[in-house]
Structure 1
Amino acid sequence: MTTSRRSRLSTWWWEVSYRVGPNLWVTPLLMSIGSVLLFAFSVYIDRNVELRLSWFPNALIDDSASDAAILVTALLGAVATALALVFSTSILTFSLASSQLGPRLIRRFMKDPVTQVTLGAFLGTVIFNVLTLSAIRSAPGSRLPTFSVFLVEVLSLCCFGLLVFYIHRVASTIQAPNVVASVVADMGKVLEDTAASLQLVLQEDDLEKVAAVVAQSRESGQPIAAIQTGYVELIDVERLLEAAASAGAVIVLNRRPGQFTQVGQTLAWVSPADAAGRVTKMIAETVEIGRYRTLRQDLEFAIAQVVEIALRALSPAINDTYTGLTCLDWLGAAMVQVGTYPERTGGVCDHDGVLRLVVPPLKFDRVLKTAFDLIRQSGSNNPAILIRILDAIYAMAPVVRPEHLVPLRQHAELVVETARSGSFVSGDVDDIEQRYSLTMAALDAAS
């Protein structure tokens, strides 16, 4: 299998997991079907195999149909009650996540495999218990379905153990530091995947050449309008590059992943103009537009999720400075990762070195603004927030690439300007000024 095919398989698998993963009904449905199949298997064993469960405690193996029915009925009621508890806990978790962390993080909780498996296990066990109870009562004179009753007991015990683990999982994942850490970890994967995908193609590093091609395409090329309204979720660079090379065209995209577009707005320019008809369909297929921003190629969205948690923590309704500081710590760590990558022109060449595709690059300055601007504005009356932003910039100074130092310096100046124009006491202003001096010294040393 070629590298290109692996990339397309990875894209296809991401599509499936992204569309299906947050659906709470898929895993419970599959496990419910599995419980029906398990019941059919257990009935076959009860009817055709002579079992001797001598190793199992006699108190848990009923000799009469009436006793077995009572036991299964009791377990059915207990598991059904626990299932209602799991559902209510899940709904409460989603409500807390939406109100305190932001509605864009609900999908993260919905796609949690522990939640889905727990719901599926309880629902499947309820179905299995109901079927076993009906089998016991439908044939009181026949052989007792010992193996089925045994499975009822085992499945019920497993469900109660899973319930304890589920409660622990919910209590852990709903905490803001854990959510922020997981979002930043996902952002790191986005960076790695983006870097890996760019290694599969030949990039154009000449910024002036790319700018000239973009200007020429916008002036004389054929604009391609978007046929859908929504966010750009995914751009298949390899397929788009192949289409441009085969058509002898240059495609200049007007949107990058995460940006919003509307029907009729220019999504791309194609030059020469007479090649537009040969690539228009491929542009529509390879530039996926949907209702949500995703983490597949949208680095800025991961940053925005952490920023949203910080903004809610700093709001007057919650007023949780420590959560805001935690978010800034993780944002600083995230920006260190981003700052180790060079600025890209967005130009992609074919195998012959001819520039064929231009995707608007996400600049470091843009990511830095996304990470700190809103928090700085929201925490403009909070000295601890301003100091922590300067601490983050101070930590970034010696490790980021030299071309990223200028925007860091600009943001440090914005922080101290905010402090000087605020209504802080002299001691707080002195602390901020001192931290600003240390930050600027670190930036000077790194330049």
Structure 2
Amino acid sequence: MSDWKVTHSPSAGRRPRALSPLREHLRDTFWFAPATAMVGVFLVWAVASEIDTRIVEALQDRGDYDAVEELLKVADDARTVVTTVSSAMMTFIGVVFSISLVAVQMASGQFSPRVVRIFVRSRITKATFAVFLATFLLTLLVLTAYDSDPDPRLVTSVPLVQSLVTLVMVALSLLLFVMYVNTTLRLMRVGHVIDRIVGEAFGAVALLPVGASAEGHALGPETDWIAHEGRAGVLRDVNIARLVRVARQHDVVLRLIPRTGDFVVPGTPVLAVHGGRVPPYRALRYSVSVGVERTFHQDLGFGLRQLSDIALRALSPAVNDPTTAVQALDRIVQFLAALAPRPLDASLHRDRRGAVRLVQPVPGWAALVDLGFAEIRGCAVGHPQVTRRLLAGLDDLALLVPEERREPLLRHRALLAQAVERGVPEASDRTFALRPDRQGIG
């Protein structure tokens, strides 16, 4: 096998974060934040309960039973509030999140099914749900702490601090509810959904090299490869830190064969070994993550895929919303413009000594341009707003990219002109549709 030329990534010179994949996987779940919040509120309740016990013991040691009796009266009043909050909180949670699920379903049908993960990853959504459940759990714990003995000499604890903490949690729940409604309404608007997609997509761009060129590197001959032995699914990401460490320990270079986002089945080659023997299987366990859907983490093309899906859905006869397609094209051009000066095709990860240990393939410039424009171009004929914006975007990118990267842009421009010539019968309409305009039709 011939040597494989690649370019280095910004991970050279710094160690990848070992917990990066785990952090991203937890962000894609909805159970972790509520579970953590409920464990945390249980600890807070235990501390508050201990403080209440110490307060009562201190007053009884001083013989100040009148103060204990006053605390009991205050606690009885607070008990009514806590009971009301406990009975209303679960109903409140059910109503709010039932409406939210309907909103998510509407957004999924209007934009793309892949935007649902934006709602799942929303920090304010998770925080609201977590605080609501934590407040409900806290009220149950506080109600169990009330002492039924009215004699201040025999009382062991008065849940005064616990009740105050409950009121604080209720206030926090109301604040988060207002923020949650505001965020949900924003995410039902296509502009904010597209902006969120682009923001997460730029997280993958941040891992790419900075600059117009990078030093080449020859990997040497391939000595062996490692097959995927897990379940079939989409390659979500790889644990870069683990693979770099294993490659350094066994003095080899590992090359990831499929790109992040590819579908792999058991037996598919996933890692090629260069320069030595295959590391033991136990050293590579949990280094490759496979799931049912793609994620933004390490997947450079997933953002473009979602933007293209939104534009295609908008251009479908059932929706017929070319303005939304233009909004998606705005961000596609922005994303590709950010990639214009960056080396693509592969990223190189080094160990602490600067030696190459892991090669990770990424989409090339032509592939990204095709992903962003090919399907939209095929559906744009008959929508002059979209063709004009598409031409303006291609022209802008042609001014930004190096000379060697202009060919895909010129090809899409020529194909679009040919499609308009064939699909629009009137010459004046063709001229209008082929006039570049950054607003489509302002």
Q: TM-score, normalised by structure 2?
A: 0.79
Distance 2:99 2:352 in 1: 54
Distance in 2, matches of 1:248 and 1:34, equals 44
Q: 1:149 aligns with which of 154, 163, 176?
A: 163
Partner of 1:386: 387
Q: Which residue is 1:234 aligned to?
A: 237
Distance 1:49 1:238, change over 3 A: closer
Q: How far apart are 1:128 and its partner, in Å? A: 1.6
Structure 2 SS opposite 1:319: coil
Q: CA deviation at 1:242?
A: 7.1
Q: 2:80 matched to 1:77?
A: no
Structure 2 residues not aligned, in runs of 5+: 1-10, 60-70, 438-442
Q: Deviations over 1:274-314 (max 9, x none)?
A: x4545777677655444332222211111101111222222
> Are the counterparts in 2 of residues 32 and 127 from structure 1 also a CA contact under 8 Å?
yes
Q: Would you say how many aligned residue pairs link Structure 1 and Structure 2?
A: 410
User: Is the alpha carbon distance of 1:76 and 1:17 closer, same or farther for their aligned partners in structure 2, counting shifts above 3 Å?
Assistant: same
SS where residue 362 of structure 1 aligns? coil
Deviates more, 1:120-129 or 1:279-288: 279-288
CA shift in 2, pair 1:435/1:355, >3 Å: same
The Cα shift of 1:28 comes to 1.4
Q: How does 1:5-154 map to 2 (within 5 A)?
A: 7-8=15-16, 10=17, 12-49=18-55, 63=73, 67-136=77-146, 138-142=148-152, 144-154=158-168
Partner of 2:206: 192
Provide the residue aligned with 1:313 in structure 2. 314
User: Are the equivalent residues in 1 in contact too, given 2:45–2:138 (CA < 8 A)?
Assistant: yes
How far apart are residue 131 of structure 1 and its match?
A: 2.4
The 1:410–1:282 alpha-carbon spacing in structure 2 relative to 1, beyond 3 Å, is farther
For residues 407 and 239 of structure 1, what CA distance do their matches in structure 2 show? 37
Distance between the aligned counterparts of 2:45 and 2:239, measured in 1? 45
Q: Percent identity?
A: 25
Q: Secondary structure at the match of 1:368?
A: helix
Matched, 1:205 2:254: no
Q: Aligned partners of 2:379, 2:395: CA distance in 1, in Å?
A: 21
Greater RCO, CA 8 A, separation 6+: 2
Name the CA distance, whole Å, in 2 between partners of 1:225 and 1:267.
6
1:396-407 pair list within 5 angstroms: 396-407=397-408
Structural RMSD (CA): 3.7
As a proportion of its length, which structure holds more helix? 1
The one of 249, 260, 263 aligned to 2:263: 260
Q: Distance in 1 between matches of 2:215 and 2:280?
A: 21
CA distance in 2 between partners of 1:225 and 1:282 (Å): 14
Between the aligned partners of 2:354 and 2:46, the Cα distance in structure 1 is 62
Q: How far has the Cα of 1:325 moved from its partner?
A: 0.8
The 3 A distance-change label for structure 1 pair 7 and 106 is farther
Q: Find the aligned partners of 1:285 and 1:72 in 2 and give their Cα distance.
A: 46
Query: Can you give the 5+ residue segments of structure 1 that lack an aligned partner in the other structure?
Result: 53-60, 437-447
Higher mean C-alpha displacement, 426-435 vs 324-333? 426-435
**In the TM superposition, what whole-angstrom CA distance separates every residue of 1:144-179 from its partner, at most 9, and x where no partner exists?**
533333333332233222211111111112322112
What TM-score comes out, normalization by structure 1 length? Answer: 0.78
Report deviation, 1:411.
0.7
Q: Measured at CA, do residues 283 and 125 of structure 1 come closer, stay the same or move farther in structure 2, by a change above 3 Å?
A: closer
Name 1:369's counterpart in structure 2: 370
Seen in structure 2, the aligned counterparts of structure 1 residues 173 and 247 have a Cα distance that, compared at 3 Å, is same
